[in-house]
């Protein structure tokens, strides 16, 4: 980043130098013309012959431009003039940004500036805090190195998020689509609106939430509230399974459907699921190729439940065996993260690998231990079955385990009656929502401005669950 910036500055300075030389030639020629044609001979005697000073004039401009170029490059590199020692001292540059902007930046507990600006700091370790009224504070230890740029980028969550109703009828078994853009849910009989409903989580052009739409109606013998349903990998279709009749249907998520022989897929379901799985495997293999070769070997043999960030620059994974990630899997980059790494993997722990910077971080989340298999009372000793840790990251998008937030820099999960967030490097662990919700129904949306929960908030004595938006702006 710094080298590219210096090259740009040097190029601009050379262009400026050439322009100044042209200006010098132009100014000299004009002055010479005016002086040569001046009507007052006596005044001409008082004007010096500029031709004798042309070379000096040129070198004066040349050295001025070179000096300005030198100081511009040093300034861009972080050097600052120390009046006490009368020397140029190297510093580093801190770029402090926040969303929303207008927050205050504190360096070692001292207020120094507002966000979305740059600061010059001497090399060393600093405690950087970013605060804004009404939002949770952001804090991180950052190492400033000379001539390099360090980034402090804070996504601020509100202290008291608002709750807004998204549905008003009873909601049963909501399931979010793989791309987090839609939720399907059922309304049970005998409600007049009984059936299968889909709500779009993307905002309209004016920023308002979209209304739910019904995609199938329940009838006697086909109550969708008593069915099992799940999304297709492309988030366009919904698979319905009725346990009572063993019938299976594939419905379109964007239209009103009828349960007919045309969409009954009991005979072809196995092939359909096999096709879906092949498509998913192809996508996963394409993503895995972004990893360094050695990292590909580690995640293939000693990791499971991979989740790539929305921008595919990071991967969240569960270590299933001990391993150590070698150093320098890619050429070292300037101005990378200075947070503590964890390149030694412990089984049963979650990690995030940053593909662009070749850095590995431990996630502060304790994976639940598996439930031991009860021992049978028998004289014959049974063959021991090795226990494996189950991390159901792909079994839907419920936040019982960490999942990626749309920023690609945060992970979100639930713990008791709280929604927890932390940055991908394990820092800024914080509670972003504390309140009632029906476990484990908390959903991530396509945008960074909201989450969706299932909860019972209404008139006294009313025992109906509905979807609510947790506003994060």
Window from 27-31, 370-374, 380-384 with minimum mean pLDDT:
380-384
Q: Given this model, what pLDDT does residue 414 score?
A: 93
- Mapping DSSP to helix (H, G, I), strand (E, B) and coil, where does residue 302 land? helix
- Which of 116, 129, 119, 123 is closest to 93 using CA atoms? 119
pLDDT in tens, 160-188: 999 999 998 889 999 999 999 999 999 99
Enter the tokens of residue 98: 């926040």
Higher pLDDT, 464 or 73: 464
| Assigned domain for 32 exists | yes
Q: Given this model, what pLDDT does residue 72 score?
A: 63
pLDDT at 3 over 50: no
Q: Given this model, what pLDDT does residue 308 score?
A: 95
Please name the residues in contact with 17: beta carbons below 8 A apart, sequence gap of 6 or more: 62, 65, 66, 69
Mean pLDDT, the chain, rounded, equals: 82
pLDDT in tens, 149-163: 899 999 999 999 999
CATH number, residue 143: 2.60.40.1120
Q: Given this model, what pLDDT does residue 80 score?
A: 57
pLDDT at 295 over 60: yes
Distance CA 369, CA 391 (A): 10
Domain total in the chain: 4
pLDDT band at 7 (very low <50, low <70, confident <90, very high): low
Together in a domain, 246 and 297: no
pLDDT band at 396 (very low <50, low <70, confident <90, very high): very low
Together in a domain, 32 and 150: no
Together in a domain, 297 and 405: yes
| Assigned domain for 31 exists | yes
pLDDT at 420 over 90: yes
Considering 76, 97, 121, which residue would you say is the last residue of a domain?
A: 76
3-state helix, strand, coil in the chain (%, to 5): 20, 35, 45
Together in a domain, 32 and 6: yes
- For the segment 275-283, the average pLDDT, to the nearest whole number, is 91
Distance CA 271, CA 22 (A): 75
Higher pLDDT, 114 or 392: 114
Tokens 């990251």 belong to residue: 393
Please name the residues in contact with 255: beta carbons below 8 A apart, sequence gap of 6 or more: 215
Together in a domain, 210 and 191: yes
| Assigned domain for 447 exists | no
pLDDT band at 368 (very low <50, low <70, confident <90, very high): confident
pLDDT band at 378 (very low <50, low <70, confident <90, very high): very low
pLDDT in tens, 224-247: 999 999 999 999 999 999 998 889
Together in a domain, 18 and 69: yes
Together in a domain, 140 and 188: no
Together in a domain, 431 and 400: yes
Higher pLDDT, 470 or 208: 470
Together in a domain, 49 and 116: no
pLDDT at 385 over 50: no
Together in a domain, 149 and 207: no
Q: Could you tell me the residue range of the domain that residue 236 belongs to?
A: 172-276
Higher pLDDT, 368 or 65: 368
What b-and-e string marks burial along 278-296, b requiring 16 or more CB atoms within 10 Å of the CB?
Answer: eeeeeeeeeeeeebbeebe
Enter the tokens of residue 151: 């980034």
Q: pTM here?
A: 0.78
Higher pLDDT, 207 or 471: 471
Distance CA 68, CA 58 (A): 15
Considering 57, 76, 95, which residue would you say is the last residue of a domain?
A: 76
Q: Given this model, what pLDDT does residue 421 score?
A: 96
- For the segment 302-314, the average pLDDT, to the nearest whole number, is 94
């Amino acid at each position: 980043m710094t080298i590219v910036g210096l090259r740009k500055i040097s190029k601009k300075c050379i262009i400026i130098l050439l322009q100044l030389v042209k200006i010098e030639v132009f100014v000299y020629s004009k002055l010479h013309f005016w002086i040569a044609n001046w009507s007052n001979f006596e005044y001409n005697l008082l004007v010096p012959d500029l031709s004798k000073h042309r070379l000096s004039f040129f070198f004066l401009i040349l050295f001025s431009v070179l000096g300005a170029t030198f100081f511009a490059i040093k300034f861009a590199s972080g050097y600052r003039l120390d009046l006490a020692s009368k020397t140029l001292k190297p510093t580093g540059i801190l770029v402090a940004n926040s969303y929303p902007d207008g927050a205050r930046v504190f360096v070692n507990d001292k207020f120094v500036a507002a966000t979305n600006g740059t600061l010059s700091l001497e090399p060393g370790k600093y405690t950087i805090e970013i605060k804004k009224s009404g939002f949770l504070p952001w804090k991180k230890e950052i190492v400033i190195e000379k001539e390099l740029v360090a980034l402090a980028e804070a996504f601020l969550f509100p202290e008291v998020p608002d709750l807004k109703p998204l549905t008003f009828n009873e909601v049963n078994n909501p399931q979010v689509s793989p791309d987090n853009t839609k939720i399907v849910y059922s309304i049970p009989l005998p409600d007049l609106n009984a059936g299968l409903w889909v709500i779009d989580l993307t905002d309209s052009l004016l920023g308002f939430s979209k209304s739910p739409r019904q995609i199938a109606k329940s009838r006697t013998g086909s109550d969708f509230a008593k069915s099992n349903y799940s999304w297709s990998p492309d988030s366009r279709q919904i698979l319905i399974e009725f346990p009572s009749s063993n019938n299976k249907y594939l419905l379109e998520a964007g239209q009103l459907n009828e349960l007919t022989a045309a969409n009954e897929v009991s005979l072809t379901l196995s092939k359909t699921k096999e096709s879906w799985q092949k498509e998913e495997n192809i996508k996963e293999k394409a993503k895995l190729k972004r990893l360094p070769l050695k990292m590909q070997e580690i995640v293939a043999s000693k990791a499971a439940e991979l989740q790539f960030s929305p921008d595919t620059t990071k991967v969240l994974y569960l270590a299933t065996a001990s391993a150590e990630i070698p150093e320098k899997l890619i050429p070292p980059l300037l101005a990378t993260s200075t947070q503590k790494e964890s390149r030694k993997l412990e089984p049963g722990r979650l990690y995030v690998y940053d593909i662009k910077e070749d850095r590995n971080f431990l996630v502060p989340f304790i994976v639940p231990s598996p439930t031991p298999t009860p021992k049978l009372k028998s004289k014959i000793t049974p063959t021991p079955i090795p226990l494996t840790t189950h991390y159901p990251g792909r079994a839907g998008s419920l936040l019982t385990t960490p999942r990626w937030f749309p920023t690609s820099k945060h992970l979100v999960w639930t713990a008791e009656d709280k929604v927890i967030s932390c940055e991908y490097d394990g820092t800024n662990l914080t509670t972003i929502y504390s309140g009632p919700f029906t476990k484990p129904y908390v959903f991530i949306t396509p945008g960074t401005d909201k989450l969706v929960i299932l909860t019972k908030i209404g008139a006294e004595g009313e025992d109906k669950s509905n979807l609510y938006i947790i506003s994060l702006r």
